[in-house]
Chains A and B, each alone.
Chain A
Amino acid sequence: KAGVTQTPRYLIKTRGQQVTLSCSPISGHRSVSWYQQTPGQGLQFLFEYFSETQRNKGNFPGRFSGRQFSNSRSEMNVSTLELGDSALYLCASSRTSGDSYEQYFGPGTRLTVT
């Protein structure tokens, strides 16, 4: 079974620009969660989508948004990029939501904002 894929793997953007990251979950998985990982703050939850609906949201500004499509693929968008948005963005898929299933993480997208 193919794992979670994320595109692109690396991205360099300039302050003020916007970016869209993509995540394809494992086949049959309906939940996709997004996390931001930085050396200072560690892994922080951004949001979760389940059956095309946002299930949960972390403490991030409204510049961070996401969506999920009917095939469970998900995208996240960051508008008006700031230097502090430089991070590894990870998505994780799970079979369902809220039933203590393990999450399967993708390799991440390394975003650098200059």
Chain B
Amino acid sequence: SQKIEQNSEALNIQEGKTATLTCNYTNYSPAYLQWYRQDPGRGPVFLLLIRENEKEKRKERLKVTFDTTLKQSLFHITASQPADSATYLCALPTGGGNKLTFGTGTQLKVEL
């Protein structure tokens, strides 16, 4: 069956360090992958989309990689700040249209 796994444990890092979050999937061959941020009590917010023919994508302090051979995406936040504390979700298109299947999410906490 199809599965999307993210770091199940919360990730605590110190301010200024780089946070690296992992998204692994099985039994998919997605044309693209998306990353979202979700704060408590709010809907997810779109951050980045990376296509299968792109190895890496950057947006300000964010960087995403996509390895279709390993079936893995890595999400990096450089120079992390306490305001980056949130749950980060990866999502893959499955079943056509705009249907997305989301990973379980990784809770990131950036400490002073």
**Residues on A facing B (Cβ under 8 Å):** 4, 31, 33, 35, 42-45, 48, 50, 55-56, 58, 90, 92, 94, 97-98, 100-108
Contacts and interface: CB of A to CB of B under 8 A. Distances in A.
Q: Which 6 residue pairs of A and B lie closest in terms of their CB atoms, listed nearest first?
A: A105-B43, A102-B46, A55-B97, A43-B102, A56-B97, A56-B99
- Bin the interface of chain B by size: 20 to 34
A48 B99 contact: yes
7 contacts: A42-B105, A43-B44, A55-B96, A58-B99, A101-B98, A104-B46, A105-B44
A48 B41 CA distance: 22
A50 B99 CA distance: 12
B96 to A, nearest CB: 6
Contacts of B45: 105
B79 interface: no
B100 interface: yes
